[in-house]
Amino acid sequence: MRPAPPLKQGSIWWLNDCPPLEGDRAKDRPVVVVSPNQILKAGGALVVVACSSTVLESDKTRIELPNLADTPQTKTGLDRPTWVVPRWFLAVERERLRDYIGHLTGTLLKRVVASVEAEILGK
């Protein structure tokens, strides 16, 4: 694992004991931090979106993230094909973030955040 930088929007972490999502079991899984940096500086809970390496192709909301197997220079730190599932957003205590994996930036981060915001607002 990479050394953990300060917590910021776009950081990818392992979340301890993520609750079951759509029939899956509770397990550790990667999540992307979507809370704005201003909120993260204030402390307390934050909003993350869960990721999965097994998402149905019929799920049109999923967003594929770069992985080291396909894009060795990626900064995500993900070692296999992985998707963000925007409807899988969660409010979590920061203590549940176990290990820093990597990060998203730029257009992809904006797309992930906008997709989660749309889910939160029910659009």
CA distances from 109 to 19, 23, 44 (A): 24, 27, 22
Give residue 1's pLDDT band: very low, low, confident or very high (50, 70, 90).
low
45-64: average pLDDT:
87
The reply to whether 89 falls in a domain is yes
The reply to whether 2 falls in a domain is no
CATH number of the domain within which 76 lies: 2.30.30.110
For 85-101, the pLDDT digits (tens) are 999 999 999 889 999 99
Domain range for residue 50? 11-121
